[in-house]
Amino acid sequence: MRRVLCVGRNYAAHRREMGGDDRDPPFFFAKPADAVVPPGGQVAFPPKTQNLHYEVELVVALGAGGADVSVGRALDLVLGYAVGVDLTRRDLQSAAKDKGQPWEAAKGFDASAPISAIRRWAGAPPQGRIRLSVNDEIRQDAALGEMIWNVAEIIAEASRLWRLEPGDLIFTGTPEGVGPVVRGDRVGGEIDGVGRLVFQLI
């Protein structure tokens, strides 16, 4: 694993939920590679927050790289897909937004990117349901086809900003229904055909 890129507000309903309603070009933020938590592990509740949020996402794992890749070639870079959860210290993010400051402390903290095993995949990206539950109660449930920017478009746009390489991961955005979790909560993310991720906050 080399780089973790994340796309913000890539589902229309979530964009409205977070206060926007336009098809702006996708915007990216990053998490450090050591924020990724492999499947099967517990996740420590992070310090300095009173409002930790879940965001379930389709994660693209790249097996090839390139710069300035066309949309038509973008899927050639894909090794496979995983289920990921972008954990966010929402209170820190809101404070940073109010001050025009960067989001690193809100998004790039330790263990902020749990993911499932990567499922190798060729051809068209997954198009099934994406869901998240907290203590077996469904909190997010949408179709991957509701993404504003599709996987190929996201990869192509990212390749105009960075030279992509094998091992890069791209979190593609979350649907509506984000919300808080606390210590002891059991979080489950699932994407049809891709896999399932379960972890407990300790």
Give the domain ranges of the chain: 4-200
pLDDT at 16 over 70: no
CA separation for the pair 40, 44 (Å, rounded) = 13
pLDDT score, position 14: 52
Contacts of 53 (CB under 8 A, 6+ apart): 87, 88, 90, 178, 179, 180, 181
CA separation for the pair 169, 112 (Å, rounded) = 14
Of 9-18, 119-128, 166-175, 193-202, give the lowest mean pLDDT range. 9-18
pLDDT score, position 25: 74
Rounded to an integer, the average pLDDT of 142-171 is 97
Strands 36-37 vs 113-114: parallel, antiparallel or unpaired? parallel
pLDDT score, position 15: 61
User: Considering the entire predicted model, what is its pTM?
Assistant: 0.94
DSSP code for 175:
-
Strand segments (E) across 112-194: 113-114, 119-120, 129-134, 137-143, 169-171, 179-181, 186-191
Share of the chain above pLDDT 90, in %: 87
Rounded to an integer, the average pLDDT of 37-59 is 95
CA separation for the pair 80, 82 (Å, rounded) = 7
Model confidence at 180, in pLDDT bands (50, 70, 90)? very high
The dihedrals phi and psi of 185, each to the nearest 5 degrees, come to: -70, 145
Rounded to an integer, the average pLDDT of 150-172 is 97
Rounded to an integer, the average pLDDT of 154-181 is 97
Compute the mean pLDDT over every residue in the chain, rounded to the nearest whole number.
94
Q: What is the tens place of the pLDDT at every residue in 119-150?
A: 999 999 999 999 999 999 999 999 999 999 99
Tokens of 190: 């699932």
Amino acid, single-letter form, for residue 190: E
Computed from CA positions of residues 3, 83, 40, 47, in that sequence, does the dihedral angle turn out positive or negative?
A: positive
pLDDT score, position 73: 98
Q: What is the tens place of the pLDDT at every residue in 63-92?
A: 999 999 999 999 999 999 999 999 999 999
Count Cβ atoms below 10 Å from residue 140 Cβ, excluding itself.
22
Closest CA to 129 of 74, 180, 83: 83
pLDDT score, position 190: 98
Q: How many residues are recorded in the chain?
A: 202
Q: What is the CATH number of domain 4-200?
A: 3.90.850.10
pLDDT at 18 over 60: no
CA separation for the pair 176, 171 (Å, rounded) = 15
